[in-house]
Amino acid sequence: MKIKCFIALIVSSIIILLSNPTTAYSQNWGMSLGISTEKVVFGDVLYRNNTHFFHFGLGYQLTDAKGEEKSERKTNYGLSTSGSGVKFYTVDLGYGYEIIDTIELFVELSIGQRKYYTNYIDKRFKDGGYHMIDRDEMIAGLGIGASYSINSQFKVFASYNSIRKLGVGVRYVFNLY
């Protein structure tokens, strides 16, 4: 469910920002997409103001969790386990500054939820089973990164976040100069 919300945010951002990129309203707005070593897909929407930029984003960890998520097991559900794991999602707020024409540095605060789960085998469920949440917790982390401007609109970035670990991505800024 959360991955669907993440995809909906990215798609709606693209539609809104592409709807009229020649107006002043869309100038200096942008978006980015990335992936990290913790199998996290993340993206954000950003706004640039001269040499400063602010971003709001989401991150979702891709996992091996089977089928549907259940918070409690019914008596007729399968009892054979097939592994366990951890999954999380985050909401990210960040600030960046352009130190020279082609280099930007940024910091971010990530807040989210981490869930510990166990996979159970049950052929009645999609993917041959379900996963049950054993416990969950709120998480918070900090990140830092740098981006390099290929041109005035396209940038590549690398970052480290205490939750997502190492990440890389691309950024596109709508502007007319």
CB contact burial 66-82 (16+ within 10 A = b; e otherwise): bbeeeeeeeeebbeeee
Please report the DSSP string for 75-137 in residue order.
Answer: TTS---EEEEEEEEEEEEEEEEEEEETTEEEEEEEEEEEEEEEEEEE-TTSGGGEEEEEEEEE
Cα Rg of the chain (Å, integer): 19
Kindly report, residue by residue over 2-31, the tens digit of the pLDDT.
667 667 766 776 666 555 555 555 578 899
CA neighbours closer than 13 Å in the CB half-sphere of residue 148: 4
Question: What's the CATH number where 149 sits?
Answer: 2.40.160.20
Kindly report, residue by residue over 95-129, the tens digit of the pLDDT.
999 999 899 999 999 999 999 999 998 888 777 88
Which range of residues forms the domain containing residue 107? Answer: 2-174
The total number of structural domains in the chain stands at 1
Kindly report, residue by residue over 139-162, the tens digit of the pLDDT.
999 999 999 999 888 999 999 999
